[in-house]
Amino acid sequence: MGQSMRKMEQSVMTMATTEREIFVDRRSYEHEGLQTNSERRQFSNSHDGLSHNAQELALAIDAYKLRHRRRFITYEEMLSIITSLGYQKQV
């Protein structure tokens, strides 16, 4: 039984080592081959059919997401982006 336990432990250790060697932390921008500008974004290819103002907003949101490494934003973040573009509520 002692020898079979050692074989099992060696097998588990080998599997754990192999998994660590092939694991790639995609959150890290230091990994070679990972390009920061290839990050998936909400408006990735839909800028073409937008009006000028909508394109400006989409680009501002994309820039915010890239700068803050966010895939999705909250309503508060969107409001801050809109107000940073100079828009304000008419009373």
Question: Residue 7 is encoded by which pair of tokens?
Answer: 């074989």
| Total number of domains in the chain | 1
Contact predicate 65/82, CB 8 Å: no
Return the sign of the alpha-carbon dihedral for residues 19, 20, 21, 26.
positive
Domain range for 73: 2-84
Indicate whether 49 belongs to any domain: yes
Indicate whether 90 belongs to any domain: no
Return the sign of the alpha-carbon dihedral for residues 78, 82, 88, 91.
negative
Q: Residue 42 contacts by C-beta under 8 Å, 6 or more apart in sequence?
A: 61, 62, 65, 71, 72
- CA 24/CA 78 separation, integer angstroms: 31
Indicate whether 43 belongs to any domain: yes
pLDDT tens digits along 30-80: 555 545 555 555 555 677 788 999 999 999 999 999 999 999 999 999 999
Indicate whether 91 belongs to any domain: no
Indicate whether 89 belongs to any domain: no
pTM to 2 decimals?
A: 0.51
Indicate whether 58 belongs to any domain: yes
